[in-house]
Structure 1
């Protein structure tokens, strides 16, 4: 029997990074509070509870992303229909790279993801809020 060839996470993240705009932490800081930008936090609720989130960010569980973006889905979220730039982020920018690529592949535009994720955001003293998701 032939050995399975599995596409690696590293290769998928690298492909996403080639196809999706990456926003630096410094640039993202200037976007917080802008009416034309929505930050999308794809982390688990426990991560958000532990470390907070970028002010005003929408929590979109990674497992629900496609369902919340698709207007034909019963789970569709209206905010994905707004004329805004969607900046995805996670803890270290792997999940957000994959999420932003998925969103872009589904036709959501413009999308980007945060370089280095919330980890780099916190190192750069980016603002966080700790209210419930």
Structure 2
């Protein structure tokens, strides 16, 4: 008999978005480059290589988020101890909604996420860095 999933990803993302701030790409662009804002890229390293990066964003693979935020964790990253605003993004906005909700529940604040993620960021012509390998092609 198959598993009976009682709450799917759509419900989880919707629930998260009702509890966190969601920024449009335009609003995110207005914050980009500010000293008091940290953009957190949750994508897999392969996605970064394939799609490019947001200049200046801090890369935190989604699977490490909780461990990098918690100062008690042996994996804690100093960036998450800074008194800044944290703006999460992923490829399409689902992982970042869940991540921002989790970060907020852990006490990180203020947090937000970018609607549509890096895909939407790229589509608007916002700044993107590509690897040296990509530039040679």
The alignment partner of 1:87 has SS state of: strand
Quick one: distance in 1 between partners of 2:66 and 2:130? 26
In structure 2, the gaps of 5 or more residues are 133-137
1:13 aligned partner:
13
1:33 aligned onto 2:33: yes
SS in 2 for 1:19: coil
User: Which residue matches 1:50?
Assistant: 50
Residue 130 of structure 1, CA deviation: 2.6
For structure 1, list consecutive stretches of 5 or more residues without a partner in the other structure. Answer: none
Tell me the CA shift for residue 29 of structure 1.
0.8
TM-score calculated relative to the size of structure 2 = 0.91
- The Cα offsets for residues 79-122 of structure 1, whole Å up to 9 and x where unpaired, read as 00001110000011000000000000100000000011111111
Alpha-carbon distance in 1 for matches of 2:6, 2:64? 24
Q: Secondary structure at the match of 1:122?
A: helix
Aligned length: 131
Deviation at 1:128, TM superposition (A): 1.0
Residue in structure 2 matched with residue 68 of structure 1 by the alignment:
68
CA distance in 1 between counterparts of 2:79 and 2:53 reads 18
CA RMSD of aligned residues (A): 1.5
Partner of 1:111: 111
Question: Offset at 1:131?
Answer: 4.9
Distance 1:37 1:105 in 2: 19
Measured in 1, the distance between the counterparts of 2:30 and 2:5 equals: 42
Deviations 1:3-58 (A, max 9, x none): 73431100000000000001110111111110000000000000001111111001
